[in-house]
Amino acid sequence: MARRPEYPFVPRSTAYLEPGDFWSIPLAGGGFSCGRVIQLRMENGKRDLRIFLAGLMDWSGGSLPTADALAGCGVLAQGQVHIRTISENQGEVCGFRDLALDGIEPALFRDADGAICVQRGFEVVRPFDCERDTDLPVFGTWGYAVIRRKADRRFPNGATDRGPS
């Protein structure tokens, strides 16, 4: 990997992103929520430069998110996003916090192609079992504004300077 830019930065590709990076999501009511890079998509051994698995953090604050502020915060939802999700929502990558510190990993999903398999993020882990896997969410692709809309619904009055519930 090439040398990473200094924080904060607005990425144009996933080349400098790593799982654990987090970015600001300005809230309609004021303040910020936070998105997190959960997993990078790999194809034929190469990093996809546009698509990654994102998570919306259960956090809001009056200032940009920090690694310390995110300690212990969970993930509200995960979805596949395009790199422009960050810039289209006026966000910027603010820092890094190891996902393992908070027990965060890619979620289990039903595949979007007719419930053939179960995925952990982008990775297929087993065939779909209609008796145990029907309650899994479908692996979805979020448009640019989906994560911001989810954040605005979770924090309708703007930032509450809150961390883990």
Sequence spans of domains, the chain: 14-106+140-154
Q: How far apart are CA 105 and CA 103, in angstroms?
A: 7
At 42-83, the pLDDT tens digits run 999 999 999 999 999 999 999 999 999 999 999 999 999 999
- The confidence score (pLDDT) of residue 22 equals 98
Indicate whether 165 pLDDT > 50: no
In percent, the amount of the chain with pLDDT more than 90 equals 84
Kindly report the pTM of this predicted structure: 0.92
Give the pair of three-digit tokens for residue 111: 């595949």
**pLDDT confidence bin for 158, thresholds 50/70/90:** confident
- The confidence score (pLDDT) of residue 108 equals 94
